[in-house]
Amino acid sequence: MKKALYPGSFDPVTHGHVDVIRRAVKIFDGLILAVANNPTKKPLFSLDERVEMIKSVTSNIEGIEIDTFDGLLVDFVAHKKASVVVRGLRSMSDFEYEFQMALTNRKLSEEIETIFLMSGEQYSYMSSRAIKEIAELGGDVSKFVPAEVAEKLLAKIR
């Protein structure tokens, strides 16, 4: 059984994230959505809120598990008995960063592979950071995030 892990802060989860999730579950026998608890980042949503949003927007997708982690990604991948890390790419700048991280992870653990999935072109310009900024400035985020996420985002910002 090939298990993969898709890590991220998911602050908030976007249509682009869901696109990568839907495509990754077709490739692997199991997919773990790993919500990062990174103390160096200051997320808008708490870890529990991010987990609940992901559960809500992926409730109709079979073959996934949702968990949280802190510390080294390679340690969590090994703990979950996965062998592949899935990373979504939107642009060349994403590739440069993700490629560097993949090589670093390979140095830390040679058993773990990284696979890059290009986001659908309709999601290639989206980032959680930009979506939060649009919401803060009073813009409509419904095109970028699932309805339940848009509702929580607007409630959090107001």
Give catalytic residues, as residue numbers. Answer: 17, 41, 90, 128
- At 103, the amino acid letter reads L
DSSP per residue over 72-128, as a string? -HHHHHHHTT--EEEEEE-SHHHHHHHHHHHHHHHHH-TT-EEEEEEPPGGGTT--H
How far from 40 is each of 37, 72, 137, 149, CA to CA, in Å?
A: 9, 13, 25, 24
- At 68, the amino acid letter reads T
**Euclidean distance between the first and final Cα of the chain, in Å?**
45
CA-CA distance, 69 to 51, in Å (whole number)? 11
3-state helix, strand, coil in the chain (%, to 5): 45, 20, 35
